[in-house]
A and B are shown apart, each in its own frame.
Chain A
């Protein structure tokens, strides 16, 4: 299972990046007729012979999909569906045909449908090892061209790279991995071995090398966990548990991965919302001071009147501002500290500068610029602010004739 995990996760990464995840599914279904034909023709259960047959029909199915999509107006998804069910049906016809011929040694062929990892002989494991080495080795050697092909096939073609050759090589490796793994996990679940680990890995990184390593890691982890479950309770089938475990790893990645994960995105959003609320609050306090010079202590009702939209979060954000040393509190009244004043001034300055910029340089009417400035004031960095101010030649007043504080 570990070997299979390594081989299929490596090659699956490229299929994933090229948005060809479901070709793996088509290939997995299509190896069945190959296995049956090889058995019928050579009358042996020798793994190499069956693998050869699987390899041939797996390849044919990909050619068939290409033929349909290039020669007709049928979309790739339907083409994959047609290829996989057609080849699979041929496989089933052959399989049932073989079953009634009573040829010796035909009983094990069923394993190709649902897979039986436990039934694997030492020879099968040797084959798997060889296939894994070939796949990992080829990927290591051709890493650069494969990377280019996955991310920018048009550029690859433009540089005169033999794109066809590398595409064929990748496809060959995919078919090889499927053909070798199918006996262990069966038709449907083989597709999962190709698709699921890279999908999990994609959440953790943007680098191809790291993604392949992580994908292998997830594939292997799923393999070990799944094998452990079926080992602990021998009524449990291995393949499905491996897939279930790997899928759980995907769900975990979706939720917890830094950067792209759901929680991480939620957390970032929350952080940003809090920052915006605090900045708006400081701005409100600045406006209050601006309106009533000399007065420094403001009660909650006054602040709330200024920013009714913040009323729910007001208490919490005031406490946070106090902790940051931006405001002071005394008997339910609040005053802005010098630090808070500087920060509030900065926000108001950016806001008014932006309004100025929109009216002066973009020719937008002055009664249309406020909303936009409300959003941009939380985003503009000090460098951008400086350039903006220089561009406008350090204006004194904004379009609404309010002073721009420096």
Chain B
């Protein structure tokens, strides 16, 4: 069975968008959108170190390295803001720019040993997704598919825990549910997702996929389940439209996907404004 490149690229984009969109919903609701931003930058040194040690682009060491640094970044933010009493926005800013700087240093310093392209790290290349295949299906689709199933399982099984710790952490504590436990589970999922997706969309645009679909869905509904569903659908739509936009402009595919996401967000903003004005006109 031979599928066209376009199909695989759109599928990869959709998988990326769906996975990060689902996680993004929780980040947006927990007012931690920028922690997602921070993590996606902070995994860079982890990826570089894993590369250096294992000498390969295979996923397992990269995954471990990145997840470790993603978690390290959240811990660093906590230490800066709680222990050292730096105000939170600055704590986030310092942590991720520093880790990102270290990552860039590592990559440029070991450039001859590390086959990691700076630009690829920054904005990824989803177009090459069809190059490596296994059983006729691109490797990226396999890994992202497994990741999506994993995340879906986590949300499905842990729905109650995530729900309660997101909306009412104090109540959760009185019920004996570990707020910190769910927090770190979510953070490690974000780190892992970032690693899996960064090769296709790059470190910075992961943020877009994490935040924008979730925020758009947030504008349109008050229910968590609907929000999760909408975020996924919005992500997939943007991946399809973005591909054709990129084809038309002959420009970066992942960049185009995010541009579509942004446009969808603006439309949702206008729609929700219109709705609210209607309501206020009637009341």
A residues apposed to B, CB below 8 Å? 16, 19-22, 24-25, 29, 67-68, 71-75, 77-82, 84-86, 88-97, 100, 110, 113-114, 187-189, 191-192, 194-196, 198-199, 202, 235-237, 239-241, 243-244, 247, 250, 254, 260, 262
Contact = CB atoms under 8 A, between A and B. Distances in A.
Given A96-B252, A110-B119, A189 B207 contact: no
Contacts, number: 203
Given A72-B273, A93-B256, A188-B100, A85 B207 contact: yes
Contacts of B84: 254, 262
29 contacts: A16-B90, A19-B87, A21-B90, A21-B93, A22-B93, A24-B93, A72-B219, A73-B218, A78-B31, A80-B33, A81-B36, A81-B37, A84-B37, A86-B208, A88-B204, A88-B258, A89-B256, A90-B259, A93-B249, A93-B251, A94-B251, A96-B255, A97-B249, A97-B250, A188-B101, A189-B97, A199-B86, A199-B94, A237-B104
Interface of B: 28, 31-34, 36-37, 41, 80, 83-87, 89-94, 97-98, 100-102, 104-105, 108-109, 111, 118-119, 122-123, 204-205, 207-208, 210-212, 214-215, 218-219, 245-246, 249-252, 254-259, 261-262, 265, 269, 272-273
Contacts of A82: 208, 211-212, 215, 262, 265
**Main DSSP-derived SS at the A contact region:** helix
A260 B87 CA distance: 13
A85 B122 CA distance: 12
A77 B31 contact: yes
B16 to A, nearest CB: 13
A191 B250 CA distance: 30
A62 to B, nearest CB: 15
B118 A92 contact: no
Contacts of A25: 37, 93
A74 B218 contact: yes
Contacts of A73: 218-219
Contact of B94 (A68, A100, A195): A195
A22 B109 CA distance: 29
A89 B92 contact: no
Contacts of A74: 28, 215, 218-219
Contacts of A81: 33-34, 36-37, 207, 210-212, 215
Contact of B33 (A24, A77, A187, A239): A77
A79 B262 CA distance: 11
B98 A78 contact: no
A224 B102 CA distance: 18
A245 B259 CA distance: 35
Given A21-B89, A89-B257, 11 more contacts: A22-B89, A77-B34, A78-B214, A82-B265, A86-B262, A89-B261, A89-B262, A96-B255, A191-B93, A192-B93, A195-B94
